[in-house]
Amino acid sequence: MAYMCADSGNLMAIAQQVIQQQQQQQQQQQQQQRHHLPPPPMPQKHHQMPQMPQAQAASSHGQIPATLSYGGASVAWPAGEHFFADAFGASTGDAVFADLAAAADFDSDGWMESLIGDAPFQDSDLERLIFTTPPPPPVPSPAPAHAAAVAAARPEAAPALLPQAAAPTPVACSSPSSADASCSAPILQSLLSCSRAAATDPGLAAAELASVRSAATDAGDPSERLAFYFADALARRFACGTGAPTSAAPDARFASDELTLCYKTLNDACPYSKFAHLTANQAILEATGAATKIHIVDFGIVQGIQWAALLQALATRPEGKPTRIRITGVPSPFLGPQPAASLAATNTRLRDFAKLLGVDFEFVPLLRPVHELEQSNFLVERDEAVAVNFMLQLYHLLGDSDELVRRVLRLAKSLGPAVVTLGEYEVSLNRAGFVDRFANALSYYRSVFESLDVAMTRDSPERVRVERWMFGERIQRAVGPEEGADRTERMAGSSEWQALMEWCGFEPVRLSNYARSQADLLLWNYDSKYKYSLVELPPAFLSLAWEKRPLLTVSAWR
């Protein structure tokens, strides 16, 4: 059994640095040959490789037990040569990672920053949490002295506790009554009252909204910040039809660069996207088994960050490397109408990384609109093990009719996949009426904002950017003025996805105990780990929850 690493971004960063070092060495050798000089001895670097988490070994995140229990079964942590040390190239089974080990101290910041200035793109690959939003006014960075004072005043993390088994937990209801209970802060209760009065008593709703807006701020506690964005969406809804000018569209290059940095900030602060990728990749790794030819169909690819960890795991699996790995990429709608340049950059990154692994790799982009794709476009071969990946992507196809979603799912079924992985946000914003949709969205984003509040300081300019750029416009699209076909923010809960998957002929595959164990261990990399949990939802969904409220759900089907 091979296992997944937790941070594909860091793997890609390491790979990029190795490639750059190799190119520099080749240039130096060419210059030396032109000058007929003997090459100088290569400097020898000795890097201390990260140690594997051993049973009962203390770490900065507390003690990790030798086993975890899921569904009554005790799961031991896998052997060191295949578990998280693979993220740093520490596998004893494959010498191809010697170069990666030499660069193991590389920070993924460098790789993320290298994306700035590339062909325009917006990353939805890791959590598909990024979308185009008008750029906010610049948020000034705190002065050094002030920043030091903030750091000194930040409360210490809660004492580390032993991780608990992710026993099945009741799903947090998203009905208006439960939203009233979860959004108990007075300012959020006022928002709920305002949404209910919008249709029946516009005057009362306007007065209530004015009161909320006077108390809301994007620099306050989570409830005040949440109210700031929801009140803005309501104000625009009330003003709809007045002829007020809309905000100017942002500069695409500027927005793309800022969103990339926002993504990195969120990914460092919260485990959402890493959980989704880690869990889906483990399901693909197990479903493809010892297959020699593996074909991954990724609906919604952007940068391909998810696949670095899977490529590494496949290259070091006990059964040996596959003879060929092919990824067919259907571009994410976030790439816009001309995704070719962005996919070419994705191809280069993945191909260079696969070359370091010694893996025969091919990337095939499909540039046709998703509703025009047919089975023949994917060129599936008889001896290939096929895996289809929908990572935070299918919800884009939701609408008043489910026909487009069903068409794409039937297309995936026709490819004969060994597994289909599905990652979606756990909130119902599709078929609900406005009042229910508003309550559901408010309850959902309350948990998201609270998780950011624990991870980042109140006056952090990075937190302001993440909430404004990555969530403010999303809230606007969910509860703002658009309705009907114009409303594009449509998410669905796990029960709705279960009905769609089963209608298209899929049956659920329970995620393995190893997948759950790895997800649980991932949470221990975060200071607020004691508030995160894994929640099992029937029939076979695994959700990452904040204080028992599921936020992001991953499942496997066949």
pLDDT digits (tens, 9 = 90+) for 212-251: 999 999 999 999 999 999 999 999 999 884 445 445 444 4
State the helix-helix crossing angle for 202-215 and 186-200, rounded to 10 degrees: 160
Query: What was the pLDDT predicted at 333?
Result: 83
Distance CA 203, CA 181 (A): 26
Closest CA to 549 of 170, 132, 276, 187: 170
Distance CA 307, CA 45 (A): 29
Query: What is the pLDDT averaged over residues 118-130?
Result: 36
Query: What was the pLDDT predicted at 183?
Result: 77
pLDDT of 119 strictly over 60: no
CA angle 171/177/179 to nearest 5° reads: 65
Query: What was the pLDDT predicted at 5?
Result: 63
How many Cβ atoms sit within 10 Å of the Cβ of residue 252?
13
Query: What was the pLDDT predicted at 361?
Result: 98
Distance CA 232, CA 480 (A): 8
Which carries the bigger pLDDT value, residue 177 or residue 230? 230
Going by pLDDT thresholds of 50, 70 and 90, the confidence category of residue 13 is low
CATH of domain 252-426+493-557: 3.40.50.150
Query: What was the pLDDT predicted at 261?
Result: 83
Query: What is the pLDDT averaged over residues 159-171?
Result: 35
Query: What was the pLDDT predicted at 364?
Result: 97
Residue with tokens 């249709």: 199
- pLDDT tens for 314-336 read 999 999 999 999 999 999 887 88
Answer whether 2's CB lies under 8 Å from 94's CB: no
Average pLDDT, the chain: 76
Distance CA 411, CA 313 (A): 28
Segments making up each domain of the chain, as ranges: 176-241, 252-426+493-557
Look up residue 311 and give its DSSP letter: H
The SS3 of residue 299 is strand
Which carries the bigger pLDDT value, residue 118 or residue 135? 118
pLDDT of 12 strictly over 60: no
By DSSP bridging, strand 419-425 and strand 385-391 are parallel
Range scoring the smallest mean pLDDT among 30-39, 305-314, 381-390, 412-421: 30-39
Cα 388 to chain centroid, rounded:
17
Query: What was the pLDDT predicted at 335?
Result: 82
How many Cβ atoms sit within 10 Å of the Cβ of residue 40?
8
Query: What is the pLDDT averaged over residues 424-444?
Result: 95
Range scoring the smallest mean pLDDT among 71-80, 239-248, 294-303, 419-428: 71-80
Query: What is the pLDDT averaged over residues 449-470?
Result: 92
- pLDDT tens for 485-537 read 888 889 999 999 999 999 999 999 999 999 999 999 999 988 778 899 999 99
